[in-house]
Amino acid sequence: MTYPAHTQTGWLFRPDFGRLCVHLVLLAYTALALFPIVLILINSIKTRAAIFADPLALPTMKTLTLVGFQKVLASTDFLLYFGNSLYVTVGALVMIILFGAMAAWALSEYAFMGNRLLALFMAIGIMIPIRLGTVSILDLVVHLHLINTRSALILVYAAQGLPLAIMILAEFIRQIPGELKDAARCDGVGEFKIFFQIVLPLIRPAIATVAVFTMIPAWNDLWFPLILAPSDETKTVTLGVQQFIGQYATDWNSVLAALSLAVIPMLILYAIFSRQLIRGLTAGAVK
Amino acid sequence: MASVSLKQIRKSYDGKTDVLARIDLEVAHGEFVVLVGPSGCGKSTLLRMLCGLEAITDGIMSIGDHVVNHLSPAERGIAMVFQSYALYPHMSVYKNMAFGLKVAGQNKAAIAERIKNAAAILKIDHLLERLPRELSGGQRQRVAIGRAIVREPQLFLFDEPLSNLDAALRVQTRLEIAKLHRQLDATIIYVTHDQVEAMTLGDKIVVMHEGTIQQAGSPLALYQQPNNLFVAGFIGSPKMNLFACTVIKATPEHVIVRIGNGATVLVDVDGSAIKAGANATLGLRAEHIEQGQNGSEVFRGVVDIVEHLGESNTIYLRMDDGQEVVIRGDGDKSVASGEPLVFSADSNAFHLFDDQGRALRRLYPGNMVSSKRKPVGSIRPMEIAHINGSRR
């Protein structure tokens, strides 16, 4: 018996124009998204003259210089700013995940008075940008004597990230089969233990998603550090970079070097969380 | 192990309509009780109330000598096996079984000992280090049972534990649960919607419908003497044939009724609670009907559909008044659709229900010689009468 030619190659290897198009579009988008980052990276290791002569050119042996990195690492408080950014971001992240998951668990698991109202209140928090409340926040921070402290930033970023975190986590917690919690209750496990030992491990992918979504705006923010914590001891990286940008002359080498360095912690955190983004952890729990 | 007693248990979510009402049930030490009923009858709710996952609106529930109405699941000394197994997906089999014990503050050596014993009973020793997702359905089922066993509970609760298994595995696991019951000498309350599971496993079957207990008793009692139309229709497969009829004559020795096509049928039931002229329902199980006219009551019909099962045929007939009848016919006798067929049954095989659906007492409730077990033609009706004891 003979088979038609196309069945021997198999459908897997046939050129699929639909898939090709999808990949082309995605590749184009990737190029677009990576372009500014690549531009920063290649210019951060070029001389000032070369940056202005041809911003798009790759560094050559003649134009290669690390003067920007040297300046940033040696002559400024950059490491302090770096530490401040990390402290604020991680602090906010921990608060958002811990309290966000707890609130999400409460909203999705327990029926109590005002449950719906509270969920709606949180949803409004997603829709209204926190910067609209800057004046009141400043007022509040001043009265709490938290002005020029990193705690003020942590609190503000936690407030900014919580609504979305609660929304996402509640959705995931709702997907955990009820019988799992019932089984734990039959085993005599307390509600706190159920939350920390059953629920939290099961929503790890969601937590990773929330972490990625909330840490990037906190790390990149310029607005609140400028208003709430502009002192030299509490400056974050984004604010610290501003010192290289002058009214008349901008030290582009240092700016680009600082920005390049600022990407690194985000990349590391992202790498950690993206491992957790892999789904399918609940497979095998129930049929 | 312990006995369980439910007195006038009621459950209502909104305070107006009762999901469960007037539930009275006594479960003896070591008894295997099966709650059975169609979906929505409240059997799972009752199980969850026993477990402590649902509050009890009214009534007294006791396990052993203790009233447990307000005790948490852990304090009741129960263990539950869930329909979906509900294994903790991020924990190994060992940790799944150990978790509850660890929370209860047992020491490590004692936990290891208990898990070793349970694993040996269930033959899952080699799976202890695996994660639930690496197990087959049947293995997960065993782990779920193992997690219940290690807690050494006073009472086991099973919530439709077999419904996620395929047919072959279901039969096998059913046998194993029966064996386990012997081995552990455990009091078990088991929920299912499958009447075959109920009949095969239960020492006592509790048939529920619309939040009330319709009848509780041994499998044979429920099969031979169902209390009402619902139980009659629910227990037995295929379903009992039901004929609308009118009572012509009622005596304590027998009742004569007229069915839809005008034929009269003599039924061996105690007719003292019913009067001539009343509407009633006649019931007859498919397996108590035989092909041919050997039985004392003879009917005629035309074959609609035949299902060949090998050892028997399930024949769907239509009588001349449109009444549908299901017969379990002899597997060796071929029957074709559209064929006219004569069938019959003995008077003692019939059930009779009054206009409220309540059953009248059957006078000879013992199992009739089923048409499929009897070599056709080898036993005459007189001999059947002889086997069942002389009557009439």
CATH code at B337? 2.40.50.140
Considering the domain architecture, whether residues B290 and B382 belong to the same structural domain is answered as: yes
Beta-carbon separation of B103 and A187 below 8 A:
yes
* Interface ipTM: 0.77
Say if the Cβ atoms of A285 and B151 lie within 8 Å. Answer: no
Of B230, B256, B286, the last residue of a domain is B230
B242 and B222 housed in the same domain: no
The CA distance from A16 to B291, in Å, is 63
Q: Is A278 on the interface with B (CB under 8 A)?
A: no
CB contact under 8 A, A177 and B99: no
- Partners of B151 on chain A (C-beta within 8 Å) are 187
Q: What is the CATH number of the domain that holds B88?
A: 3.40.50.300
B244 and B224 co-located in one domain: no
- Pair (B153, B28) in one structural domain: yes
User: Where is the domain boundary, B230, B253, B280?
Assistant: B230
Residues B72 and B200 reside in one and the same domain:
yes
* Residue A276 touches chain B, beta carbons under 8 Å: no
Domain extent at residue B374: 238-387
A182 to B99: CB separation less than 8 angstroms, yes or no: no
Chain A residues in contact with B84 by the CB 8 A cut-off are 177, 179, 285-287
Q: Which of A109, A172, A176, A187 to mutate to test the interface with B (most CBs of B within 10 A)?
A: A187
pLDDT at B142 over 70: yes
**Is the same domain home to B261 and B226?**
no
Residue range A41-50: average pLDDT?
Answer: 87
B182 within some domain = yes
Residue numbers in B near A282 (CB within 8 A): 89
Residue in B with minimal Cα distance to A178: B86
In degrees and rounded to multiples of 5, residue B176 shows phi and psi of: -70, -35
Tens-digit pLDDT profile for residues B52-93: 999 999 999 999 888 999 998 888 889 999 988 899 998 999
φ, ψ of residue B282 in degrees (nearest 5): -100, 135
Domain match, B200 and B267 both: no
**Which of B187, B210, B230 is the last residue before a domain boundary?**
B230
In terms of CA atoms, which chain A residue is nearest residue B87? A285
**Are residue B196 and residue B277 in the same domain, yes or no?**
no
Claim to verify: residue B184 and residue B267 sit in the same structural domain:
no
Nearest to A185 among B53, B84, B131 (CB): B53
Angle between helices A78-109 and A150-175 (to 10 degrees): 40
DSSP B132: G
**What is the reported pLDDT for B382?**
45
Whether residues B298 and B149 share a domain: the answer is: no
**CATH architecture of the domain formed by A77-276:** Orthogonal Bundle (1.10)
Please tell me what DSSP assigns to residue B135.
S
Contact with chain B for residue A283, Cβ under 8 A: yes
Question: Quick check: is B348 in a domain?
Answer: yes
Candidates A185, A189, A285; nearest CB to B89: A285
- CA dihedral sign of residues B138, B144, B147, B150: negative
B1 confidence band (pLDDT: 50, 70, 90): low
- Say how many domains are in chain B: 2
Looking at the structure, do residues B325 and B376 belong to the same domain, yes or no? Answer: yes
Report, as an integer, the average pLDDT of B204-228. 93
Of A148-152, B180-184, B202-206, the least confident: B180-184
Residue B280 has pLDDT above 60, yes or no: yes
SS (HEC) of B348-366: HHCEEECCCCEECCECCCC
Instruction: For residue B385, name the pLDDT band (cuts at 50, 70, 90).
Output: very low
For B304-341, how does the pLDDT look when each residue is reduced to its tens digit (9 = 90+)? 999 998 888 899 999 989 899 999 988 888 888 999 99
Residue B392 lies in a domain: no
Candidate from A185, A198, A287 with C-beta closest to B88: A198
Residues of B in contact with A190 (CB under 8 A): 103
What mean pLDDT is predicted for residues B16-29? 91
What letter would DSSP give residue B239? P
**Domain residue ranges in chain A:** 14-65, 77-276
CA distance B79 to chain A (A): 6
- Whether the Cβ atoms of residue B189 and residue B27 lie closer than 8 Å to each other: yes
pLDDT at A71 over 70: yes
